[in-house]
Amino acid sequence: MKKEELFEVLGDIDANSVKKAKEYKTHGMPAWKKWTAIAACVAILIGAFVGIPALRGGNKAEGGYPSGLKTVLAAYPGPVAVKLSAQEFMESDEHWNWWQGYRTKVDESQGLQTGISNYYTDIMQEILITDDDENTVCSPINIYIAFAMLAEVSDGNTRQQVLDMLGTSDIETLRSNVTALWESNYVDTPVVKSLLANSLWLNEQYSFKEETLNRLAEQYYASSFRGTPGSAEMDEALRKWTDENTGGLLSEYVKELTLAPETVLEIMSTIYYKAQWLELFKTENTAQEVFHGTKGDSTVDMMHRTDTLGTYRTDTFTSVGLGLNDSGNMFFILPNDGVDVNAVASDPAILAATRFSEDDDNWFVPIVNMSIPKFKVSSHTDLLDIIRDLGLTDALDPSLADFTPLTEDRNDIFLSSAEHAATVEIDEHGVTGAAYTALAMSEGAAMPEDEIDFVLDRPFMFVVTGRDGSILFSGIVKNID
């Protein structure tokens, strides 16, 4: 039986859901048992993205920020169906109508994913692959948006190097990409939260080009804060804003955030994500078992489930994907025996393992006896050496950097700091993650015939995708405490 015929014969879903899934299957989504429900349940915010985001604010304190800062807060799209529970929302006509309008945006963003594949591959290799025993995690989409904002405030060869790093030919294409990524990955419903946010931290001693600031406010939803870098009140506001927009999940890193006195502008970009599994793990099936990490064995809480799942297998790894309600999927990528997890992370086939294709013979649909450890991974990464390796060099040199779209008060502004922090946690209910990127500019299917065991009891990789295929989070788990 062909994979697409699974829409007809697999899954415990009602007739209305089958109708929705059948309508959506033409958009290239995986067509195996539980994943049909993803197609039936898609609902990511689009109705609120009509026109330019309004801004509120002025010179007075807002949102509890210190009164000494000139603050303008971007108005983000409001939450959807706030009076409904998750279950009520999933069963409502409001959910279905919303999804109907949303799928056009998903298609648009899906169409650009291939164009930024090299960026995904490069940034994951640079951040995730290390020679030590530490776990690593990052948010490729968060880093992409942060550096897109850097492109907006730069020009000449500096801008071109940013565009090259992001795999984009020109600034207009980049702007279109950001709009598509944002509109297909900003979600605020009773079922899932995928909240993107940006902010600008401006030195009040400089005059900035309003055209550039307006574009960042309107297209990137960037709130702005003007004050004195290095002051206690500006540092407090930076930490407060970042903590609020990452759900408090990165407080161990956020508490160390400061603005150097010589800062001209700092760009802060964040993502907060929380989604439930399409089918929850049963807590009574969780048992303590051994995880064989690079530092030695440890006892972990191992979740268990048997299901018919889309599986991707190569000579070096096996990947199994689990659907997330009103979102994308989480893929668990287990190296084959004798294969190092770092080698898997550098395998170009990783992206293919996150994008279902009927023409790819590596995909099959077995019964999977899945064992997945509950885990939480966090990491903090200095991006300066990474972006230098990726060819972005002029921005780091005061004599070469071109930030004239930002200000002409000085000609020696350069990218002095670039850092990224991310965390991902999973349990029986679903996935929670958050990330921030801070850039500181300173002066000077067939019916299953197979059955496999998929036991994540040794180092593995994971990838969390949005509904459009964007890579929201990725990481390598080498050890679990």
pLDDT tens track for 426-468: 999 999 999 999 999 998 744 566 888 999 999 999 999 999 9
3-state SS assignment for residue 464:
strand
User: Does residue 92 form part of some domain?
Assistant: no
The CATH number linked to 313 is 2.30.39.10
pLDDT in tens, 185-214: 998 888 989 999 999 999 999 999 999 999
Residue 298, CA distances (Å) to 267, 291, 341, 481 in order: 40, 5, 18, 7
Angstrom distance (rounded) from CA 42 to CA 468: 11
CA-atom Rg of the chain in angstroms: 22
According to DSSP, residue 324 is labeled B
Phi-psi region of 32 (alpha: psi -120 to 50; beta: other; left: phi over 0): beta
Q: Which pair of structure tokens corresponds to residue 430? A: 């679903």
Strands 296-308 and 193-203: unpaired
**Structural contact between residues 201 and 268, judged by C-beta atoms closer than 8 angstroms:** yes
Angstrom distance (rounded) from CA 83 to CA 336: 47
| Residues 6+ away with beta carbon under 8 Å from 296 | none
Give the residue numbers spanning the domain of 468.
Answer: 283-375+447-477
What does the pLDDT read at residue 4? 38
User: Does residue 20 form part of some domain?
Assistant: no
User: Does residue 24 form part of some domain?
Assistant: no
Q: Which pair of structure tokens corresponds to residue 434? A: 């958050």
Angstrom distance (rounded) from CA 389 to CA 382: 13
Question: Hey, how many other C-beta atoms are within 10 angstroms of the C-beta on 260?
Answer: 12
Which residues of the chain are under the pLDDT cut of 70? Answer: 1-63, 445-449
Q: Which pair of structure tokens corresponds to residue 325? A: 């309600």
User: Does residue 459 form part of some domain?
Assistant: yes
Helix, strand, coil percent values for the chain (each to nearest 5): 30, 30, 40
What does the pLDDT read at residue 88? 92
Domain total of the chain: 1
User: Does residue 296 form part of some domain?
Assistant: yes
Find the DSSP H helices in 45-155: 86-90, 93-113, 117-128, 140-152
**Buried b / exposed e across 408-434, counting CB within 10 Å, b at 16+?**
eeeeebbbbbbbbbbbbbbbbebbbbb
